Structure 1
Amino acid sequence: MKKVLSLVLALIAALSLSACGSGSVSSGSASSAGGSASSQPQTIQLGSGGTYADMIEVLAELVADKGYNVEVVLFDSNSGPADACSGGDIDGFIYNHAPWLEQYNKDNGTDFTEVSPLYYGRTALYSANHASLDELPDGSTIAIPNDSTNMENTLLFLQDLGLLELGEKTESFYTILDVVSNPKNIEFVETEISYTARSIEDCDAVVCTGQQIMEAGLDPNDFLAENESKKNYPIGLTVRAEDADSEWAAALDEALHSDEFRTRFDELYKGTLVLY
């Protein structure tokens, strides 16, 4: 009888250990930072938008053999990935630049961290109706992004081009209310950044990224002037602070800086996005 009881207890113990070892590790949690003991790949959901998602598809291929299953979650608004990540719906994103993230953290009490700079988006003044700055007529309409960091950068860019002059800031960021000189009487059309390029046929010019112009079916290398300061707006893999030092974030970041990724990235974006 004792032998039978011992065998039953041993069987129960073995089944308990087996149950504990099954199942997948959820992504984005502190317990998953060390990787999963399961044979199943750890699923990591990364947010992005438009053709920016193509680089995540490349990333997914490069880390598949390391046990990570990267999925792209698409968004159609500028704050969509950050909003979803702050709510725990996705694990990270590759979409917004560092100054934008800093302001988002302040406004929302979040702690997003860029693991490391990856690329910057080439931004320029584009026009479907004029071939040069000199051709912009008096009373021109120029579409600009309406979020604080990108609006300020755009206004400083237009000031560098001599199209306007800014005075003292009335808020934390420059807005069109701070324009003190406007020699061409430009009318500024404020747009959500994801839609700025779509205004190119309705306005004399737009300030937006080369990638958005490419998505609109236009030549991203055909611009009136380029905003060189965008090199100071790095974009990279962004995660919550608790995941910044995790093994999965390090594995993804390493793949993002590999030679194979760089080659395929340049093939995809043709200079509209520029790697550091």
Structure 2
Amino acid sequence: MPDTSPTGSSSTGPDLVEAPRRRRWPLVLGALVALAVVAGVVVATTGDDDSAAAGETVRIGVVGASDPYWATYEEAAADAGIDVEIIDFSDYNQPNPAVSEGELDLNQFQHIVFLADYNVASGDDLQPIGATAIYPLGLHSKQYDAVEEIPDGATVAVPNDASNQARALVLLQSAGLIELESGGTIFSDLADVDTDASRVQVEALDAALTATSLDDLAGAVVNNDFVERAGLDFDDALAQDDPNDANALPYANVFAARAGDLDDATYLQLVEIYQETQAVQDGVVEVSGGTAVMLDTPVEDLQDSLAKVESDTRAQQD
């Protein structure tokens, strides 16, 4: 993004004002024109628009750029005078480093727990600047129509990334398929599964593979991003968690930015466009099979939740 400080303007201004007294009029006019140009640069770089992205294309990383609501979002942003480019990723591990390294300006693909895990593991400090939605996590199967039909000893898959794995394991426990020795927390992993007390075996797979592996599994917990891509129906989930639960805030999906960009006017406007454009909101709900719960949670609450999860994560590692 461009440097918006008035670099060089302070030294150029005095040179023009203190030019030699003996001038011909063309020189005077030339100096005045130059001064006007410099003044224009100063106004352009220090004026009312305090956005680092003013006049530039804002690059936003997402997982699932082919979802129709992103095109609607780009159009709504263009109507507001903001050029947005949506960059697609298939790997959850890529969009955060891309923001940190300046390849992206924002990303929107993750919930707070995932962001906290990334920040703690990498030593980074990406921050949420706005909420989008909470998506319930669902247990799907191609072989069985009810949880009770899944036989003892069968294998069920969960995502292998830490935050979604913990959430998936808690879901399996709620469905009566496994028991977790800790009782179930945002830090639960496969080692927390009480195998003797559990009905099924649990296998961890890349989130993108849980759905596509269902032919070989009794069931799998599938992230919303991959449900329809795998030809599954949201309504066919055998079980799902409750996005309206008071403890669900850490699983709110967010726009994430570098810590230094939290007050960027353009970025904050882009959050408002997402939250206030009804066609975008309707599109998100439609793509989620009607499961998404749309949010406009105060940014302070999101950042407080992130700080709490990060603190708990560090304590868990000690």
- TM-score, normalised on structure 1? 0.84
User: What's 2:283 paired with?
Assistant: 264
The amino acid of 2:252's aligned partner reads P
Q: Partner residue of 2:268?
A: 250
Q: Distance in 2 between matches of 1:182 and 1:74?
A: 42
1:44 maps to which of 30, 39, 58: 58
Rounded to whole Å, the distance in 1 between the matches of 2:196 and 2:224 is 26
Shift of 1:33: 6.8
2:50 corresponds, among 22, 25, 34, to: 34
Is 1:202 aligned with 2:224? Answer: no
Contact 2:65 2:88 in 1 (8 A): no
- Cα–Cα, structure 1 residues 180 and 8, in superposed 2: closer, same or farther, change >3 Å? closer
Q: How many correspondences in the alignment?
A: 267
* Structure with greater strand percent: 1
Distance 1:50 1:5 in 2: 59
Deviations 1:111-164 (Å, cap 9, x if unpaired)? Answer: 222223220122111000111112112221111111111111111111122212
Equivalent-residue separation in structure 1 for 2:277 and 2:30 (angstroms): 56
The equivalent of 2:74 in structure 1 is: 60
The within-5 A match list for 1:61-210 is 61-168=75-182, 173-183=187-197, 186-210=200-224
Structure 1 stretch displaced more, 231-240 or 45-54 = 45-54
What is the SS of the residue equivalent to 1:189?
Answer: strand
Deviation (angstroms), 1:212: 1.4
Whichever of the two has the greater Rg, that structure is 2
Give the TM-score taking structure 2 as reference length.
0.74
Are the aligned partners of 2:235 and 2:289 in contact in 1 as well (CA < 8 Å)?
no
Percent of paired sites with the same residue: 26
Which residue in 2 is equivalent to 1:3? 25
Quote how far apart the aligned CAs of 1:193 are: 1.4
Cα distance in 2 for partners of 1:33, 1:241 equals 19
Alignment of 1:197-236 (within 5 A): 197-228=211-242, 232=248, 233-236=251-254
Aligned match of 1:275: 294
In the superposition, relative to structure 1, how do residues 158 and 86 fare at CA in structure 2: closer, same or farther (>3 Å)? same
- With over 3 angstroms needed to count, the CA separation of the structure-2 counterparts of 1:31 and 1:86, relative to structure 1, is farther
* Structure 2 runs not aligned, ≥5 long: 1-22, 296-318
Q: Kindly indicate whether residue 257 of structure 2 is the aligned counterpart of residue 239 of structure 1.
A: yes
RMSD, matched Cα: 3.1
CA distance in 1, matches of 2:121, 2:49: 27
Relative to 1, partners in 2 of residues 1:114 and 1:4: Cα closer, same or farther, differing over 3 Å?
closer
